[in-house]
């Protein structure tokens, strides 16, 4: 299952970009052990285009807490003016655990 979720996430975040973001780089950025830098368009796409259910499974497979995603989103994505209503409903608890 992990490879399938990883493939879905990577296909989604890399679809519009020449340089491909890897799972390792994505995890490092989310955990703030690597600066976002030139990966910001990929990260914005992660929050706006990856289905919440896939995002939830990706995080579970890689032991990333929803609070880690929320922190990144609030620090880097929302200040750009990008919003993801589905992500916000999930991470702020309005609809519970996604399917």
- What is the C-alpha to C-alpha distance for residues 63 and 78, in angstroms, rounded to an integer? 23
Residue 98 lies in a domain: no
Q: For position 83, what pLDDT does the model report?
A: 87
10-residue mean pLDDT series, the chain (99 residues) = 89 94 96 93 95 94 93 92 89 59
Residue 99 lies in a domain: no
Count of domains for the chain: 1
Cα dist from 73 to 1, 2, 24, 77, 95, whole Å: 25, 23, 18, 5, 18
* Dihedral sign computed on CA atoms, order 20, 23, 29, 35: negative
Q: For position 98, what pLDDT does the model report?
A: 45
Full domain range(s) for residue 61: 2-91
Residue 51 lies in a domain: yes
Q: Encoding tokens for residue 31?
A: 């955990």
Q: For position 87, what pLDDT does the model report?
A: 92
Residue 58 lies in a domain: yes
Q: Tens digits of per-residue pLDDT, 18-36?
A: 999 999 999 999 999 999 9
């Amino acid at each position: 299952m992990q490879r399938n979720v990883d493939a879905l996430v990577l296909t989604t975040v890399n679809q519009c970009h020449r340089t491909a973001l890897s799972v390792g780089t994505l995890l490092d950025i989310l955990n703030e052990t690597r600066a976002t830098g030139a990966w910001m368009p990929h990260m914005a796409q992660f929050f706006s285009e990856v289905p919440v259910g896939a995002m939830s499974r990706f995080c579970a497979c890689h032991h990333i807490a929803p609070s880690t995603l929320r922190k990144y989103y609030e620090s880097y994505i929302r200040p750009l003016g990008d919003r993801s209503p589905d992500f916000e409903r999930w991470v702020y608890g309005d609809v519970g655990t996604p399917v």
